[in-house]
Amino acid sequence: MYRFLPLISSILMLALFSACLMVSSFFWVGVILMAGLTGVGLYDVFQTRHTLWRNFPIAARIRWIAEELRPFFRAYIVESDTEGRPFNHEERAMVYRRAKNVTSVEPFGSQLNIDRPPYEWLSHSVAARHPAGTDPRVKIGAPGTAHPYSASLLNISAMSFGSLGAHAIEALNRGAAKGGFYHDTGEGGVSRYHRAGGGDLVWELGSGYFGCRTKEGRFDPDRFADVAQDDQIKMIEIKLSQGAKPGHGGVLPGNKVTEEIAEARGIPVGQTCFSPAAHTAFSTPKGLMEFVAQLRELSGGKPVGMKLCVGNRWEVLAICKAMLETGIHADFIVVDGAEGGTGAAPAEFMDHIGAPLRQGLVLVRNALVGCDLKRHVKLGASGKQISAFSMAASMALGADWINTARGFMFSLGCIQSLNCHNNTCPTGIATTDKGRQRGLVIPDKAERVYNFHRNTISALMEVVGAAGCEHPSELTPRHIMHRVTEDIAEPGHRAYKLIEPGALVSGADDTHLAREWSMAQTASFAPLRID
């Protein structure tokens, strides 16, 4: 009977408070509370969906409440400053401080365990410098590109309108406009809110071809040309895959297709639409490069590249072979690490599919350098990059610039409540709920977006100067030390097996990518069979 003690107690208290009404009307408060609690208990007993509620009426509700509040208790009470996931308290606090223009210095030494792998550090120089430049840029555009783009070294990674609300998108774009960095639209098309701030845009083109699709969901060249030639759009990015759920398509239910989303995506209001797992505009590495050339022509000569989370290594090598064979060079490749992702994804995809950023970045770097393509094809990196050191480390290993999504979400006020997929974001960022969005004041948050970018770039230049360099492009793999064991650390070029320029085209058999290079073919993404 102890299982029913809370219910029995509520019934007895209800009777007691009811009897006390004869003494004072004040006891109405107790009657109302106990009546409500008794009602909950009786409902628990007679409902048929939840076993625990039937067996432990009222009491089992405590477990449910605790389960709902667990992420908050864990984040603010249980975890140390460096234990949280995906981002710990120290990482989030750093972004908040930089977004608010508050000093980000820390007292009393590092909280990281620097004696355990995979700890990394930057090799500083006794001839440290104070770089003169405060706004380093990278020029993106392969030979023959009519309108190359000068990009900041830190930009807003892909987040679609719909995954983020209108206020968040507009605040991001206004901040990008003030800071002179670009804003990736995500695969949901170019919305009115992406345009509102006047900031530079990179139009991400996913397998759904939103904003330039036919009624059947295929690529429409004429619609693409109409949008792509807009001066605000600086580059085109073909999304092959993303870190959160590589190799997985998507479904946008019809009840979420509002008038504004339909406008951005070029689909009917209220109609369910699908994003296939793979593109229909091409099916081979060679076809991909021909698609790149087509988009470059249709856009009026703007840089065209691709984003991918590395999966099969031979596919990356096949893309490079296709560049060599066709003479068509992508202007850039953005490597998205498997630790990336602002939206929801199936657990198996989020946890176990796709290469982490560091491994993916190194592979693409090796492929481009080994094919002598790196001088034409610029390399971006995205996936949990929010600090100056993480940026510097990625650049030392081959990246030309960094994109971050969650970093800029934190600058907007994100508290990592993990409700991005429920439309219940408490900070009004990852929600289309207009009431919740009201709390996000666009001018204030746009300023914080700008501050985060400016202060992070400033911190990056301090790190670069400590290494004795004037520009981040001067960083080399030898600047990064990687702890392999507690006693052994290796410089980056050894720790990550970096290959020399031209090694794949001059003698792939002498590299660790020899087998995958033999498997790669331009006529198919499937591997060539090797006996």
**412-457 tens-digit pLDDT:** 998 888 877 777 888 889 888 888 888 999 999 999 999 999 999 9
Domain boundaries, the chain: 2-78, 148-519
- Residues 6+ positions from 376 with CB-CB distance below 8 Å: 142, 143, 329
In CATH, what number does 148-519 get?
3.20.20.70
76-106, pLDDT tens digit by residue?
Answer: 666 666 677 788 778 888 999 999 998 777 7
Rounded-to-integer distance, Cα 360 and Cα 366, Å: 10
Count of beta carbons in the 10 Å neighbourhood of residue 127:
7
* pTM, to two decimals: 0.89
Mean pLDDT on 238-243: 90
> pLDDT tens, 255-297?
677 888 888 888 888 887 778 889 999 999 999 999 999 999 9
Tell which residue, 344, 157, 149, 150, has the closest CA to residue 256.
344
Polymer length in residues for the chain: 531
Helices 221-228 and 285-298: crossing angle, nearest 10°? 50
Under a CB-based contact definition with an 8 Å cutoff, are residues 234 and 149 in contact?
yes
DSSP per-residue codes, 274-336: EE-SS-SS--SHHHHHHHHHHHHHHTTS--EEEEE----HHHHHHHHHHHHHH----SEEEEE
Contact 324, 524 (CB under 8 A): no
Which residues have a Cβ under 8 Å from the Cβ of 483 and sit 6 or more positions away? 114, 115, 116, 117, 118, 119, 120, 489
Secondary structure letter of residue 524 according to DSSP: B
pLDDT tens-digit map of 352-396: 788 899 999 999 999 999 999 999 999 999 988 999 999 999 999
Q: How far apart are CA 304 and CA 151, in angstroms?
A: 14
CA 261 from chain centre, in angstroms, equals: 21
